[in-house]
Structure 1
């Protein structure tokens, strides 16, 4: 009987804590975030296209955009990896293989950034997401150095833009 009462008190106090915590959560100012983004129109379109962003607080918005950045990096990695497998031209294969390594590095940086996001470490998140953004940029530079037609490549623009939103949010955390 005493254990039952203790459990009820514990559950009640836990629920009260959750309710108080949710009352303190403020809706993120998406207009302010997009106003600071490098590509403001992309940010606005991204936020409007994702119903989960409406009414989200800053930590939730950080998680949503960060998840999108991870998805975008994985899609880029998979696309370039398939190009490596299909390439018969040695120069193309070498260029694509270089890009695979850069995307692996970006994904690794994002995995490190996940810990900063989970702990609410805005500056750490910013540094690690900035590092992740270098991978696709370096890939594009390598492709230009190899004088390879990039029309078959994965467009890293969305990844860069989504990461840019994460950077803005990290500065607000």
Structure 2
């Protein structure tokens, strides 16, 4: 009798975890996510342009957008670093060098946020991605008074918009 009861509890527990896992793997509501994003049209275009987002659950979508944020930050860092190396104007070189430092900080914060994402800690992910967004924002603010290469600021805008999507998703986790 004890063996039967033990098996029954085991099977019931197993079914609970299987059902809980399948509930967590529901397809993410992209319209709801983009409806909460700061730049809704960017979010919608981003989601439509990436075939991996279609049918993805929330955790998968978080990983996809977070990966894009890392790629965007890395691309912006490399682009601005190349401007530091090619510009001859000392004032612009100093401004670009400052931006490189801000992007290093952003990349470091994203690396810290990766742990929160892996553990499913939405609040921690939100805090660390918000911190990552500060560097490029500061860079853009510093560059407002200069005639800068437009590609440097385009990367900053894309980064902010992608991080904005990650923030919305982190609030839903």
Q: Give TM class, smaller chain.
A: 0.7 to 0.9
The question of whether the paired residues in 2 share the 8 Å contact of 1:28 and 1:58 is answered with yes
Q: 1:153 offset after TM fit, Å?
A: 2.4
CA distance in 2, matches of 1:63, 1:18: 23
Equivalence for 1:114: 114
**TM-score, length-scaled by structure 2:** 0.85
Q: Secondary structure at the match of 1:153?
A: helix
1:68 maps to 68
Q: Is the 8 A contact 1:95 1:143 kept in 2?
A: yes
Is the deviation greater in 80-89 or in 21-30?
Answer: 21-30
Checking the alignment, whether the CA contact within 8 Å between 1:143 and 1:150 is kept in structure 2 is: no
Counterpart for residue 88 of structure 1: 88
Cα distance in 1 between the residues matched to 2:88 and 2:61: 43
Q: Which runs of 5+ in 1 are unaligned?
A: 1-15
RMSD: 1.9
Shift of 1:144: 2.4
Aligned partner of 1:44 in structure 2 is 44
SS in 2 for 1:165: helix
- The count of aligned residue pairs is 157
Gaps of 5+ in 2: 1-14
TM superposition shift of 1:142? 1.3
- For residues 32-85 of structure 1, the C-alpha deviation after alignment (integer angstroms, 9 at most, x for no partner) is 101100111111111111000011000000000000000000000000000000
